[in-house]
Structure 1
């Protein structure tokens, strides 16, 4: 069975680079399963887990938005943020979730609601990955 190279890159570093059997991402248009020899494409991503299948194992990576570029034998995810489950600090994620919720429910005029909503989504994504 053929594989494809998955690379997940953030502005700071390369988070992941391995040969995999399948990648499942959540694009803005819906969920997309990518196998070797997939048609080339580029699409924006939601803040959501990326599932990686290698043999009989499945990994989940927290991705905070960005884009996926699909080529015949390679998938590149250019993410705003990405974390492997082992690198997620659950207490930090819970604190970020609490802060974002407070900003969204507060009556302050100087709060950037869109930024607070995105922060909440990223925190929930991290927490959900560790709870699965």
Structure 2
């Protein structure tokens, strides 16, 4: 019996409750999984995991699309990656001033937290703000071509 040729791409869909951010092919997806950074290539084994706040990178050949995700779920099945994000945005949608303000506010509140519950809440807010700034900085410095997602996030 002849074996099948390996797939060259996988289908990726990134959605939130409000909108679809990406629906198309990719040669690789890098995501912030609950147990660390995940790299997903065509033919990846089935997987279901939580996402943590961080950068989601969708790559197709020499192009890429960096996005911020605040958390959610990632599922891999049948050469498809489905990401159900709590919140997500393309790098170019991130407002630097707003993200920096959120980071400073979270740091201040964390310093003033009076109990473990408050500390956990403000630490999570700080991680989200820092992750958004990281995605923005990564996108600013990138040398790769921007993956065309025209029409998906307009």
TM-score, with structure 1 as normaliser: 0.90
Moved over 4 A (4+): none
Q: How much does 1:116 deviate?
A: 1.4
CA contact (8 A) 2:113 2:119 kept: no
Aligned to 2:131: 125
Residue aligning to 2:37 = 31
Q: 2 CA distance for matches of 1:80 and 1:32? A: 18
1:49 equivalenced with 2:55 (yes/no): yes
Distance (whole Å) between structure 2 residues aligned to residue 94 and residue 3 of structure 1: 36
Aligned to 1:97: 103
Q: Does the CA-based 8 Å contact 2:57-2:66 persist in structure 1? A: yes
In 1, distance between residues paired with 2:24 and 2:100? Answer: 30
Q: Secondary structure at the match of 1:98?
A: helix
CA RMSD of aligned residues (A): 1.6
Superposition pairs of residues 39-78 of structure 1, within 5 angstroms: 39-78=45-84
- Find out whether 1:7 has 2:13 as its counterpart: yes
Answer 1 or 2: which has greater strand percent: 1
* Correspondence 1:80 to 2:86: yes
With the length of structure 2 as denominator, give the TM-score of the two structures.
Answer: 0.78
- 1:117 aligned counterpart, secondary structure: helix
**Alpha-carbon distance, 1:91 to partner:** 0.8
Q: Tell me if structure 1 keeps the 8 A contact 2:11–2:23.
A: yes
Q: Which runs of 5+ in 2 are unaligned?
A: 1-6, 139-154
Q: Rg bigger for which structure?
A: 2
1:26 positional shift:
2.0
State the partner residue of 1:106. Answer: 112
